[in-house]
Amino acid sequence: MPRTAFTYTKSILERVSFDAKLFCKELEKALKNLLPYEIELLRDWLLQYTAEKPELKQCLIYMK
């Protein structure tokens, strides 16, 4: 079964979560490539993921 763009995006964001700037940059790139329903899934995942990492919450502005 091929990997979905959403799953790939999550794995990339998890890998770069040590650097908020890089995380924001990868998030911007992902938003350009994901389908609308994948963006909704990503939004839900981000809210949950950034709850434990407050330094990444600034990147949520790209989701608007």
Tens of pLDDT, residues 41-64: 999 999 999 999 999 999 999 887
- Degrees, nearest 5: CA angle 25-26-28: 65
Q: Is 4 helix (H, G, I), strand (E, B) or coil?
A: coil
Q: What is the pTM of this model?
A: 0.88
Closest CA to 48 of 56, 64, 28: 56
Q: How far apart are CA 31 and CA 54, in angstroms?
A: 21
Give the start-to-end residue ranges of the domains of the chain: 5-63
Q: Which residue has the tokens 């939004």?
A: 43
What is the per-residue pLDDT for 4? 87
